[in-house]
Amino acid sequence: MTSSETIDLFSRYVIGNYRRFPVSLVRGEGSYVWDAEGNRYLDFFPGWGCNLLGHCPPRVVAAVREQVGRLIHVPNTWYMEPQGLLAKALVDRSGLDAQCFFCNSGAEANEAAIKLARLNGKPSGRYKIITMLNSFHGRTYGALTATAQPKYHKGVEPMLAGFDYAPFGDLDAAAKLVGPETSAILVEPIQGEGGINIPPAGYLQGLRELCDKHGLMLIFDEVQTGMGRTGTWFAFQDFGVKPDAITLAKALAGGVACGGLLAKCQFAEKLVPGTHAATFGGNPIACIAALATIETIEKEDLLHRAAKIADAFRARFESLRQRCPLIQHIRVKGTMVGIELSIDGTPIVDECLKRQLLINCTHGTVLRLLPALNLPDNDLHAGCDIIEAALLKQAQG
């Protein structure tokens, strides 16, 4: 089928709730994807942050192929070896005395965390959760209410009760919101959708102290930052702050749908039978894919690669900033890259697409790159050349 034939199908049969580029993608390998016409694109935003190992990572492909012929799905009324092994692998790498619950997406993982915070707070009448302005936690009602951005609430109100919002990075503002009904603080250690916002020094530690002082749960949404994206298994390890729970999805299973909540045992025990469930959660295919993802990251030493990629991007874009007045700020942590512009980033994304490079723009003005951890140096520089050319063309008007 050509791209335009597929687009025609969508126009008639698929609900139009996404803005899509007019290209039908049919194949991927590493940091490249191909469209139906055979054009090749370099992908600096593979799978919207899900394809941390690029497209079709060989170990994940092999593990899923093998598993799919053995057992596709059984319900959580049974024990499954891959789910148990994955829970152990995540807990071991977290360094926390914790247990896991599995689901299928980031929003679902945050729903589980919200429920856990309420179940934990219930005996003392606590149910409110503090989240941060410009956060993003997902599109289901709990996660969406936690997402402190009015544009996502518009038209679908009323939102869920029990959420208070503080500016990201402002410890005093968070402290002022704590009251007798507060049960938890939920925060992305680095805001992704909000523009790759790295917290000020001491902020996450300050939130930890606040939670300890008031007996609140500290929950980190690591849906975008987790699984090695920032150069450690979980971003909290780089900031030296231990949360009570983290939520995971996106890169967890190398591009296969999988979400998870990892919670310290003293909290995890509140999720007793009947309190929460996900029919597909922790299914053998997702779990085997996640195990293969972890194995790949370790065998290929990709946590260390994240820091090298970060240095290369930082050097490229800091140098460009001297020559391109459109660039306001560069924010880089591992393979999370934000280039804040003085203008809307959409024309830059479109120009990159014309030059066969896929990037993203978030929060209106921030070019966001979430490249694969195994992006080779020559591809990194080829993509940076394209972004540079697109930005300089725009700057010259």
* Minimal distance, residue 106 CB to ligand PLP, in Å: 2
Pick between residue 271 and residue 336 the one whose CB is nearest to ligand PLP: 336
Contact positions with ligand PLP (CB under 6 A) in 39-68? none
Pick between residue 223 and residue 369 the one whose CB is nearest to ligand PLP: 223
Q: Where are the alpha helices (DSSP H) in 54-168?
A: 58-68, 81-94, 106-121, 141-146, 150-153
* Minimal distance, residue 25 CB to ligand PLP, in Å: 19
Pick between residue 35 and residue 108 the one whose CB is nearest to ligand PLP: 108
Per-residue exposure over 93-118, b if at least 16 CB sit within 10 Å of its own CB, e if not? bbebebbbbbbbbbbbbbbbbbbbbb
Contact positions with ligand PLP (CB under 6 A) in 132-191? 136-138, 188
Q: Strand pairing of 25-29 and 182-187?
A: unpaired
Can you give the three-state secondary structure of 273-284, one letter per residue? CCCCCCCCCCCH
* Minimal distance, residue 14 CB to ligand PLP, in Å: 18
Contact positions with ligand PLP (CB under 6 A) in 270-299? none
Phi–psi pair at 15, nearest 5 degrees: -60, 135
Number of residues that bind ligand PLP (CB under 6 A): 14
Pick between residue 138 and residue 231 the one whose CB is nearest to ligand PLP: 138
The token duo for 358 is 């896929």
Pick from 107, 290, 361, 367 the residue near ligand PLP by CB under 6 A: 107
What residue is closest to ligand PLP based on CB?
106
Q: Is 337 in the site for ligand PLP (CB under 6 A)?
A: no
Distance CA 285, CA 160 (A): 33
Contact positions with ligand PLP (CB under 6 A) in 192-231? 192-193, 221, 223-224
Dihedral sign for Cα atoms in the order 322, 325, 329, 333: negative
Applying CB under 6 A, the residues found at the interface with ligand PLP are 105-107, 110, 136-138, 188, 192-193, 221, 223-224, 249
